[in-house]
Amino acid sequence: MNKIERLISIVMILLQKNVVSATEFAQLFNMSKRTILRDMETLGMSNIPIYSINGVNGGYGIMDEYKLDKRLLSSKDLENILTALGGLGQILFSDEVELTIKKMESMIGSAPSKGSIHLSFYDWDGRSEIVQILKTCQEAIVQGRLLTFDYIDRSGVKTDRRVEPYQLHFSETSWYLKGFCLNRMEYRTFKLSRTDNLDIDIQTFVARDFMTEQKAEQQYQPKLITVKALISHQIRDHFIERYGQKRIEAYNSEFCIVKIDVPQNDIGFRFLAGFGSDLEIIEPKAYVDDFREFLNDMMKKYA
């Protein structure tokens, strides 16, 4: 965090708290107390009405006339924002996210929040390893500099890539980088777990009309096949969460019938195979035949 960002953060915190000690600020920003004192002098010279209080419970405050009207956001609004930030923090807990959460907590006050909603994500070891990759990508996006990396496709083939990075995207369990690939001369989406030797190039670039490409991508829908299948009651909840109640019909005491749209390729087959013997595809026949071939290839590994 640079000095300007730190000064803005100090003002935001003081706008919502009565008095904050130099020690608290030093711990929050991982800076020395001397640095915090210089920051306060800088804010004072910038005509920000900051005052100091000496003593054990002393610290720095800001004139009440300068403070924001807290009615703009209720305590419940702030708790909802913290809930969302808390979920994001489990996916990627960066210094920026941590600081934002502390700012929001300071606006709510010192009283602990019970929290009517709690978000929980898998604590996978691989997620911590990808943090540095995410930070590198974000730095390149902000600075408008090219990214270079090796990209490994599903077949294990490695290719060199030079990319104009535009956006980081998180979907279900994975992080992706969206950008313009100079090797293929087209917009591409790269799964970050398939990248290696990622580095920021010294060369900068002029951003293309990425939003137009985004709209075109949103309009594109992969070809899906409507599949009819029998599912056991043990996995019924999985299909309710993904497809909704309307896709499920009663069949008998052991099974339900579902009609779902899935791709007729390895991605769709892996998804369906994950339910094991709790799922049986009924139709269409062409899908059943392809799925059977997929399963036979799997069984050959254990023959």
CA separation, residue 213 to residues 194, 200, 205, 218, 221 (Å): 23, 23, 17, 9, 14
CATH value at residue 166: 2.30.30
Domain contains 187: yes
Domain total of the chain: 4
Domain contains 52: yes
Same domain, 202 and 248: no
The pLDDT of residue 72 is 53
Q: Please state, in angstroms and rounded to a whole number, the distance separating the CA atoms of residues 269 and 279.
A: 12
Q: Please state, in angstroms and rounded to a whole number, the distance separating the CA atoms of residues 144 and 94.
A: 21
* Residues linked to residue 194 through DSSP beta bridges, in sequence order: none
For residue 66, what pLDDT band results from cuts at 50, 70 and 90? low
In the three-class reduction of DSSP (H, G, I as helix; E, B as strand; rest coil), residue 251 is classed as coil
Angle at 57 between CA 56 and CA 60, to 5 degrees: 115
Average pLDDT over residues 204-228: 77
Query: Which one of 43, 66, 89 terminates a domain?
Result: 66
Same domain, 92 and 171: no
Same domain, 176 and 188: yes
User: Of residues 112 and 151, which shows the higher confidence score?
Assistant: 151
Average pLDDT over residues 88-107: 65
Query: Which one of 218, 235, 263 terminates a domain?
Result: 218
Q: How many CA atoms lie within 13 A of 222 on its CB side?
A: 9
For residue 57, what pLDDT band results from cuts at 50, 70 and 90? confident
The pLDDT of residue 63 is 81
Question: Is the pLDDT reported for residue 225 higher than 90?
Answer: yes
Question: Is the pLDDT reported for residue 200 higher than 60?
Answer: yes
Domain contains 253: yes
For residue 296, what pLDDT band results from cuts at 50, 70 and 90? very high
For residue 297, what pLDDT band results from cuts at 50, 70 and 90? very high
Query: How do residues 237-286 score in pLDDT, each as one tens digit?
Result: 999 999 999 999 999 999 999 999 999 999 899 999 999 999 999 999 99
Max mean pLDDT range (34-43, 57-66, 291-300): 291-300
Query: How do residues 178-191 score in pLDDT, each as one tens digit?
Result: 999 999 999 999 99
Same domain, 98 and 137: no
Same domain, 77 and 97: yes
CA separation, residue 78 to residues 96, 108, 158, 188 (Å): 18, 7, 46, 37
Q: Which residues contact 39 (CB under 8 A, 6 or more apart)?
A: 3, 6, 7, 10, 25
Max mean pLDDT range (26-30, 44-48, 106-110, 199-203): 199-203
Same domain, 99 and 134: no
Same domain, 244 and 183: no
User: Of residues 127 and 53, which shows the higher confidence score?
Assistant: 53
Same domain, 12 and 47: yes
CATH value at residue 34: 1.10.10.10
Q: Does this model's pTM top 0.75?
A: no
Is residue 235 within 8 Å of residue 275, measured between CB atoms?
yes
Domain contains 113: no
Domain contains 94: yes
Query: Mean pLDDT in the chain?
Result: 83
Same domain, 139 and 97: no
Which residue range is the domain that position 279 belongs to?
225-300
CA separation, residue 245 to residues 107, 138, 225, 281 (Å): 40, 39, 19, 19
* Residue 55 neighbours by CB distance under 10 Å: 6
Same domain, 288 and 207: no
Query: Which one of 218, 240, 256 terminates a domain?
Result: 218
Rg over CA atoms, the chain: 26
The pLDDT of residue 131 is 80
Query: How do residues 135-175 score in pLDDT, each as one tens digit?
Result: 899 899 989 999 999 999 988 899 999 999 999 888 877 88
Same domain, 275 and 242: yes
Same domain, 61 and 20: yes
Is residue 53 within 8 Å of residue 16, measured between CB atoms?
no
Domain contains 114: no
DSSP codes, 8-58: HHHHHHHTT-S-B-HHHHHHHHT--HHHHHHHHHHHHHTT--EEEE-STT-
Domain contains 117: no
Q: Please state, in angstroms and rounded to a whole number, the distance separating the CA atoms of residues 102 and 81.
A: 12
In the three-class reduction of DSSP (H, G, I as helix; E, B as strand; rest coil), residue 190 is classed as strand
